[in-house]
Chains A and B, each alone.
Chain A
Amino acid sequence: FQFQEHVLLQFLGLDKAPSPLKFQSVPYILRKIFQDQEAAATTGVFQDLCYVKQLGVRGNVLRLLPDQGFFLYSKKLSQASSCLQKQLYFNLSAIKEKEELTMVQLGLDLGPNTYYNLGPELELALSLLEEPHVGGEGEGGGSSLPKMGKMLALQSVPWPQGVLYFNLLHVAKDWNNNSKKNLGLFLEILVKGHRDTEVNFQPEDTCARLRHLLHASLLVVTLNPEQCHPSPRKRR
């Protein structure tokens, strides 16, 4: 008998044994779902493996996709108050064709919640990208801004910050139907001003801190109809 690792990996839904280079931290929600399911299995409590009760959606595979985009340092910022510009990109290729998207949530971590480092009020704008960005990446890179499409969110960000969540289900469904449409997102953070005019803050410090702490990830929940039967129709 020869151990057929690839057969076992295929059974687990993998083509080959992963060899991760970067280790993403596991977010609290995934850890919680995992622990709840382990506890239920230990106590023999029935669990519907096709429903994620902690998120309130149907699904049997949860993925946390890392952001593969980059910061943009255009020489001519769109507005003087612009603090940070970043292309966000998530590779959805790991999602199999037969899987149905049931939840796609962008998480933008702007740093820890703290009242000790009060800063200026910020405004966050999130848009779709319509054309791939050309002209280099990183510091000292391109001088032009990428072509933006539909704006998905525009909101003020009062302190403390923490993690902001955005529902991108419809956007991701569109990307999943046609991978060429997935050119990423454009994130811009602007400094709006300070609520307390007596506090002398340095926007540069805030922006540098944000660039250092910003972490984006996409939580994707999918349902494989081969492993999960459709939910029963509700009685009228």
Chain B
Amino acid sequence: SAIPVPKASCKNLCHRHQLFINFRDLGWHKWIIAPRGFMANYCHGECPFSLTTSLNSSNYAFMQALMSAAHPDVPHAVCIPTRLSPISMLYHDNDDNVILRHYEDMVVDECGCG
């Protein structure tokens, strides 16, 4: 049977939103040398079945959206990061050491339904 297409305006669809994390807001600027913060971003938006294929979705997301439409108990596909990148941080620790460390998956580069 035909599945009703939910109404979602373009701005409500799953996409990446800008979010800058400023270490000063956390009070961490006292020990983090660099960077001052980073563009972490986040994913938010709807993943309607009709657009699942066009929203950078996994095959599983497509199946889940289909199942969700047929069975309301199955949750909708959700908007999640699909590509992340690392950041490097230069900071002082409690022993007055200077540390350079890399953290994987800190910045959301792309979002999609999953």
A37 in contact with B88 given A17-B27, A18-B94, A91-B95 (CB within 8 Å): yes
Q: Which of B31, B35, B85 contacts A20 (CB 8 A)?
A: B31
Of B52-60, B64-72, B102-110, the segment with at least 4 beta carbons within 8 Å of chain A is B102-110
Task: Please provide the chain A residues from 20 to 47 with a CB less than 8 Å away from any CB of chain B in the complex.
Answer: 20-24, 26-27, 30-31, 33-34, 37-38, 41, 44, 47
Docked-complex contact B97 and A64, CB < 8 angstroms: yes
CB distance from B92 to the nearest CB of A (A): 4
Residues of B within 8 A of A63 (CB): 97-100
A62 in contact with B101 given A17-B27, A17-B28, A38-B88 (CB within 8 Å): yes
A26 in contact with B99 given A14-B93, A38-B88 (CB within 8 Å): no
Q: How far is the CA of A66 from the CA of B103 in the complex (A)?
A: 24
Residues of B within 8 A of A19 (CB): 30-31, 94
- For chain A, the bracket of interface size reads 35 or more
CB distance from B95 to the nearest CB of A (A): 5
CB distance from B111 to the nearest CB of A (A): 16
Q: Which of B31, B35, B104 contacts A18 (CB 8 A)?
A: B31
Docked-complex contact A62 and B94, CB < 8 angstroms: no
Docked-complex contact A41 and B31, CB < 8 angstroms: no
Q: Which of B90, B94, B95 contacts A26 (CB 8 A)?
A: B90
Q: How far is the CA of A20 from the CA of B93 in the complex (A)?
A: 7
Known: A14-B94, A227-B104. 15 other contacts (CB 8 A): A12-B89, A15-B94, A17-B31, A19-B31, A20-B30, A20-B93, A20-B94, A26-B33, A31-B90, A37-B86, A41-B86, A63-B99, A64-B98, A91-B95, A93-B95
